[in-house]
Amino acid sequence: MRTELCDRFGIDVPIFAFTPSEHVAAAVSRAGGLGVLGAVRFNDPEELDKTLDWLDENTDGKPYGVDVVMPMKVPTEGTSVDLQAMIPPEHISFVDRTLQQLGVPPLPEGEGREGVLGWLHSVARSHVDIALNHRPVLIANALGSPPVDVIEKAHAKGVQVAALAGAAKHALSHVNNGVDIIVAQGYEAGGHTGEIASMVLTPEIVDAVGPDVPVLGAGGIGRGRQVAASLALGAQGVWTGSVWLTTKEYENLGSNPAMTDAFLRASSADTVRTRIYTGKPARLLKTKWTQAWESEDAPTPLPMPLQNLLVADAHNRMNAANNPDAISMPVGQIVGSMNEVRPVADVMADLINEYEETVKRLSSL
């Protein structure tokens, strides 16, 4: 499955793997794909710097990418204290009440309670600056076009820029801003996502941006048949994410075993698209936490970045509590086929083998 992207990035297969884990990213890159490290979890830019040092040393010289979360328009900014003051008390009491009902204990004394500052524009900018001091081949932005000066800075270093789009008009606008590669993020995808499913969205974006702009199909891709389907739809490669959450390498991130259990037992019907994670619609695993936000007395989620600040402490507490019924985690509908914990290299091999079988089957019809 070599496409033009393989030459562009020096990779064997156009399988792009978004992951918050440097261990997964490195393993994907070593297996011939492009591991893309999610930077949003790094509140401390120095920690990202060290992690990218580690990636530089553990990818056998293979390329990798970095993913940031940066709205094009600079949102309300300030210190986390200023933003906290904008959160209505009824939202805070709903979160407290819900955690109590779900039996989520407080964090042990002394454990950090900070939200994920990567959602803040200034922090995301620092992520880009640090990344560009390493050797990524791609900066991807999980929220559409990054600001034009960020794109120019990346280009000046010879780094390509990818942006997510859930509609053809957004993809066109990204291209006009200088974005090199569009990730067509279908409805079925985990995390921020629109309402148009991959089957319709991918060819629409491919046709809109024309043959000179490569499109990565995203959403619902965890098997080789889905890679083949996405390439059939006109994508030059695939953007995967959820499928790496149940790999052996992901466990190195210190994720709790309850979360892995929750993924393994979930069916494709066990996700929900909701604004409760960041303020923008994102697909999460359906749990008692997401259900609580659907109850009659639940408040309307706050806009980005306030919603994430509101729930950040709750996320930390749920993650520490190790209860598969009360977690908050983005994942796509592909979770239904994530049924065992496997090494990244095995998942990659299966993606490639099933892709090849599929194309052979189609050719023989």
Sheet of strand 271-274: strand arrangement:
191-192, 282-285, 271-274
CB of 167 to a second copy, least distance (A): 6
Q: Which of 287, 363, 293, 288 is nearest to 331 (CA)?
A: 287
Q: Terminus-to-terminus CA distance in the chain, angstroms?
A: 19
- CA 255 – CA 319 distance, rounded (Å): 8
The dihedrals phi and psi of 272, each to the nearest 5 degrees, come to -145, 140
Comparing CB distances to a second copy, the nearer of 189 and 314 is: 189
Binding mask 210-239 for a second copy (x = CB under 8 A): ---------xxx-x-xx-xxxxxxx-----
Q: Is 35 helix (H, G, I), strand (E, B) or coil?
A: strand
The 234-273 contact track toward a second copy, x by CB under 8 A, reads x--------------------------------xxx----
Shortest spacing between CB 358 and a second copy, in angstroms: 5
Q: Which residue from 9, 119, 187, 289 is in contact with a second copy, where contact means CB under 8 A?
A: 187
Q: CB 182 → a second copy: shortest distance, Å? A: 16
Rule CB under 8 A: say whether 172 interacts with a second copy.
Answer: no
Q: Which is nearer to a second copy, 92 or 197 (CB)?
A: 197
Which one, of 120, 134, 179, lies nearest residue 155 by Cα? 179
Query: In Å, how far are 82, 294, 300, 307 from 290, measured between CA atoms?
Result: 27, 7, 13, 14
Long-range contacts of 198-203 (CB under 8 A, 24+ apart): 198/230, 198/233, 199/229, 199/233, 201/166, 201/167, 201/168, 202/230, 202/233, 202/234, 202/235, 203/233, 203/234
Taking the complex as a whole, the smallest distance from the CB of residue 218 to a second copy amounts, in Å, to: 10
Q: How far is the CB of 191 from a second copy (least distance, A)?
A: 15
Q: Which of 107, 199, 264, 345 binds a second copy (CB under 8 A)?
A: 199
- Are 150 and 128 in contact, with CB atoms under 8 Å apart? yes
Cβ-based nearer residue to a second copy, 7 or 109: 7
**Residues of the shown chain interacting with a second copy in the complex, contacts defined by CB under 8 A:** 1-3, 167-168, 186-188, 194-201, 203-204, 219-221, 223, 225-226, 228-234, 267-269, 332-334, 336-337, 358-359, 362-363, 365
